[in-house]
Structure 1
Amino acid sequence: MEFLPAFFQLKDQPCLLVGGGTVAARKATLLVRAGGRVTVVAPELGPDLRRQAEAGEVTHRPGTFVPEDLDGMQLVVAATDDAAVNRAVAEAARARGIPVNVVDDRRLCSFIFPSVIDRSPVIAAVSTGGASPVLARQLRTRLETLIPSGYGRLARLLEDFRKPVRERFPDATERRRFWEEIIEGPVAELAFAGQMDEARRELEDRIARDQSRRDVGEVYLVGAGPGDPDLLTFRAVRLMQQADVVVYDRLVSRPILDMTRRDAERYYVGKQKDNHAVPQEGINQLLVDLAKQGKRVLRLKGGDPFIFGRGGEEIETLAQEGIHFQVVPGITAAAGCASYSGIPLTHRDYAQSCVFVTGHLKHGELDLNWPALVAPNQTVVFYMGLTGMPVISERLIAHGMSPDTPAALVEQGTTPNQRVLTGTVASLPKLVEEAQVRAPTLTIVGEVVRLRKKLDWYQPEEHRPGTVFSSHA
């Protein structure tokens, strides 16, 4: 280990920054955020540092570096574009025993700046010892997904309760177990969701009850997006990895399901035409029953849970039963599939509005506002429309849409198996039949489809053995 990881306490401490350019401005920002009193020595300041000086965040001493600039300083950074000046700063600082950093020259550094994940008061830092700052930033980006911004709020809340918890649980082991349950349970989730008053009441209640386990668990209603795991939100990934139980539907791809905890219980509740693994009322009750067993339940739904996902019905039941829950939005199929197929849903030359509708047949009919769907300069996106494609095509044309209106079918959008077929409103039924299109498929109707050839950017990867992007996860 070439460098010892450490954190400097710089609040109200004098710090010297030599250099006035863009790199120096970035270092000044870090020092100021840490509470340092920063003096900048440079003949001239760049625009960023000039703004900081005008705002009173840093003090500027015009001129070149002299050793006397180090008097009283606790920490020094050299960030000029002159190697000789940087070396002179480093040598003078070392002679006085002052920690010094020279940007882009770790040989002259007695400390280095890591890539920082700032969730104050929680701070995480990643460093490659100066070997590859780009790699450090990449690792920091990955850690960002595991350390949501709400950790700062949680840490401040826990700090307020350290004394009462120590008094309530004098045994160190018992106290550790209590804190572990709090950090992994509903108190933390309420803090992450910004519900601080509720989180405080919950923590107070937990301390008063003197127990390390909740009687009732909670439910996470999470949108899994259209299929590509990279489109998951940070919060979705975190909840997926901490849930005790996973209740998932047909549109959740296998790679996304594999991101949940391997030891979690799994319940498949997918729906297909005339084949519902579990009726919706049964799904609602299952979530309630699992939560009442004290479990953290992940309800994983393809796309977004509130766009044709019946998520509202599920949380309505949870609310009636007094079950804690939170909702994590996902990228809906319309947004994901349109983007990955190179079809913008709106474009000022073709469409100024967009409508999402369900194409699901009920008793062989589609009860839709057809006159509104054929409005000009509009894109219409049909979810679940394969079975009803002949009806959709016939009704749109009957209500005034030109048979030659461009249309596209996006099968298994955003996945390596994505397939995009284009045609017209009139040719859609034949296209579905001849190409043997299968669910999940999204239908996009409108002049924006004309842009598909020009804007087609996504080239699905070759199917890899063992990787399954199936509609039956």
Structure 2
Amino acid sequence: MQHFPVFMAVKGRRIVVSGGGDAAVAKLRLLLKTDARLEVYATDPDPEVVQWGLEGRLTLCRRHIEASDVMGAVLAYGADEDDLADARLAAYAVEARVPHNIVDNLNDSAFITPAIVDRDPVVVAIGTEGAAPVLARSIKSDLEARLPSSLGFLTRIGRSFRHAAEQLPFGRRRRDFWADYYGQVGPQAFAKGGEDAVAPALAQLLADHLSQTPRKGHVDFVGSGPGDPDLLTVRARRALDAADVVFHDRLVTPAILDLARREATIIDAGKEGFGPSMPQADIDALIVTHARKGRHVVRLKSGDPTVFGRLDEEVEACVSAGVSFAIVPGITAASAAVATIGQSLTKRGRNASVRLLTGHDMAGFADHDWKALARPGEVAAIYMGKRSARFVQGRLLMHGCDPQTPVTVVENASRADQRILSTNLAEMEPAMSDAALDGPALTFIGLAPRASQAVVRTLVQEAVS
């Protein structure tokens, strides 16, 4: 992010614009929506600018802008459509320490003006850092279609009611009240009775919430999928949006955590095989402690919470404490990884079942039914198998597995830095070592990518070199 988005207070403050042509008119149409004091400096202003001046909506000065005009302004715009004049405005602004924007000149601007969806006082700003203005306008159009024109009115009524709503305790109860207002009660009252019906409906809603028994805490065990936010379920997004506290595993990506409410408490409860970990008993106790305080807790687990996630212990802690819970499934790492290689986990005539295995458990490398796994046509998906690669390879070969059995390793499945390694059982361990895998990886025994193995090997080698 090269431009940090902010909403600047401009009420009663000066914004100066140098220029009076088409570029200035376009910018002024946006600036006139603010409560700023607008000053325009132009020797030959557009008739529309002149009319705005006559109406008292801005102050028009029919001359070139000077350094003293920029002093004390909150923002300065260069819209002369002349390189020399725009450069002069930029120099004045830099000297006066006033943020400046040169219209249609990203490199010489100290800030940029985003596309805006205006539902005053609700304002949505959309920026692409100058890379794709057409895309910004497309997003703006989509949002304008989705946000009703009544939203501004509902927000103004809500703002006038904020003091009364402080009768509700800060946190979940107050948030639930506002969610009910903006999500249901406000829009429904406006649709049925117009503006006059909204305030009485809001007052009744507050009375209803004040008389309610406070909700008990609740825990959602949420699968965050393999890492791509687009693979997160709708129900998982809703849980994150409502969470007061989020416990997350080490493999949950920052892009997923960014979807949680900013006010939520984020707690890293990560574990690492053969490495530092938060004790499971501490995780269980913390989840219960927060839930007993009436908080909505989300236990965020990479992939699906029911697969190698210590779910049973955490659920049992909730049951013992009398805390309600729900399990929100996620897309498993195995499903995401196998999709990237164009295969299926089971196939008629190849394997009627698939085994999901862990490369290690709390006691070390995990042991399995190697004889069954070594049979021709078997498929296994091995989680946490990087460090156990030599162990798995040896056990399978020892039990008669064909050395040419295909092996595919998918690192960072579904993410932008995803890599695919295609090899065979005989070369499995050295190939994984050479690839220097440092992200979460899932190993498939008995599956090869639909693309040719030679091509995949080449891609991996290029990535490693």
TM-score (norm 1): 0.52
CA deviation vs aligned residue, 1:77-125 (integer Å, no higher than 9, x gap):
xxxxxxxxxxxxxxxxxxxxxxxxxxxxxxxxxxxxxxxxxxxxxxxxx
The one-letter amino acid paired with 1:213 is: P
Distance in 1 (CA, whole Å) between partners of 2:388 and 2:146 is 43
Query: Who is 1:282 aligned against?
Result: 282
The residue number in structure 2 matching 1:272 is: 272
Q: Name the counterpart of 2:382.
A: 382
Per-residue CA distance 1:322-354 (angstroms, 9 max, x = gap): 001111000010001111232322233533321
- Checking the alignment, whether the CA contact within 8 Å between 1:178 and 1:212 is kept in structure 2 is no
Separation (CA, whole Å) in 1 of partners of 2:344 and 2:144: 32
The aligned residue for residue 451 of structure 1 is 450
Match of 1:414 in 2: 414
Mapping for residues 76-155 of structure 1, pairs under 5 Å = none
Partner of 1:95: none
Q: Give secondary structure in 1 for the equivalent of 2:251.
A: coil
Cα offsets for 1:405-455 (capped at 9, x unmatched): 000111101000000001011211101211111231000011x3152439x
2:370 aligned with 1:359 = no
Distance 1:175 1:412, change over 3 A: closer
Give yes or no for contact 2:223–2:303 (8 Å, CA) kept in 1.
Answer: yes
Structure scoring higher RCO (CA < 8 A, sep ≥ 6) equals 1
Structure 1 gap ranges (5+): 1-133, 144-170, 189-206, 461-473
8 Å contact from structure 1 (residues 361, 388) kept in 2: no
Change (3 A) 1:378 1:452: farther
Query: What amino acid maps onto 1:351 in structure 2?
Result: N
What is the distance in 1 between the residues matched to 2:173 and 2:362? 51
User: How far did 1:175 drift?
Assistant: 9.7
> In 2 relative to 1, CA 337–139 (structure 1 residues): closer, same or farther, beyond 3 Å?
farther
Is there any run of 5+ residues in structure 2 with no aligned partner, and where? 1-137, 148-163, 184-207, 460-465
- In structure 1, what is the equivalent of residue 113 of structure 2? none
Asked if 1 retains the 8 angstrom alpha-carbon contact of 2:407 and 2:428, the reply is yes
1:373 corresponds in structure 2 to 373
What percentage of aligned pairs have identical amino acids? 37
Count of matched residue positions in the alignment of Structure 1 and Structure 2: 276
Q: Superposed, which structure 2 residues align to 1:188-227 within 5 Å?
A: 210-211=211-212, 213-214=214-215, 216-227=216-227
Query: What one-letter code is carried by the residue in structure 1 that aligns with 2:325?
Result: F
Distance, in Å, in 1 between the alignment partners of 2:243 and 2:327 is 14
CA apart distance, 1:178: 7.1
* 1:140/1:431 CA distance change after superposition, 3 Å: farther
Secondary structure of 1:297 counterpart? strand
Superposed counterparts of 1:320-469, under 5 Å: 320-348=320-348, 350-360=350-360, 363-446=363-446, 448-449=447-448, 451-453=450-452
Partner residue of 1:295? 295
| Structure 1 CA distance for aligned equivalents of residues 257 and 165 of structure 2 | 37
* Residues 313 and 413 of structure 1: CA distance in aligned 2, closer, same or farther (over 3 Å): same
Give the distance between the partners of 2:296 and 2:307, measured in 1 at CA.
24
| Contact 1:304/1:330, CA 8 A, preserved across alignment | yes
Counterpart-to-counterpart distance in 2, 1:178 and 1:257: 23
Contact 1:247 1:299 in 2 (8 A): yes
- Shift of the 366–173 alpha-carbon distance from structure 1 to 2, 3 Å rule, reads closer
Change (3 A) 1:277 1:427: same
In the alignment, which residue of structure 2 is the partner of 1:313? 313
Q: Distance in 1 between matches of 2:280 and 2:384?
A: 17
Change (3 A) 1:293 1:402: same
Q: Supply the AA of the counterpart residue of 1:432.
A: M
Evaluate the alpha carbon distance shift between residue 258 and residue 181 of structure 1 in structure 2; reply closer, same or farther with a 3 A threshold.
closer
2:342 and 2:449 in contact (8 A); partners too: no
**Residue identity opposite 1:275 in structure 2:** G
**TM-score, structure 2 normalization:** 0.53
- Offset at 1:374? 2.1
AA at the equivalent of 2:214: R
Q: What is the distance in 1 between the residues matched to 2:316 and 2:233?
A: 24
Cα distance change, pair 361–307 in 1 and its aligned pair in 2 (3 A): closer
The separation in 2 between residues aligned to 1:231 and 1:304, in whole angstroms, is 12
TM-superposed CA distance for 1:378, in Å, is: 2.3
Question: In the superposition, relative to structure 1, how do residues 291 and 451 fare at CA in structure 2: closer, same or farther (>3 Å)?
Answer: same
8 A contact 1:304–1:331 mirrored in 2: yes
User: What one-letter code is carried by the residue in structure 1 that aligns with 2:375?
Assistant: A
Partner of 2:200: none
Give the residue type in structure 1 aligned to 2:309: G
Indicate if the aligned counterparts of 2:393 and 2:428 stay in contact, CA closer than 8 A.
yes
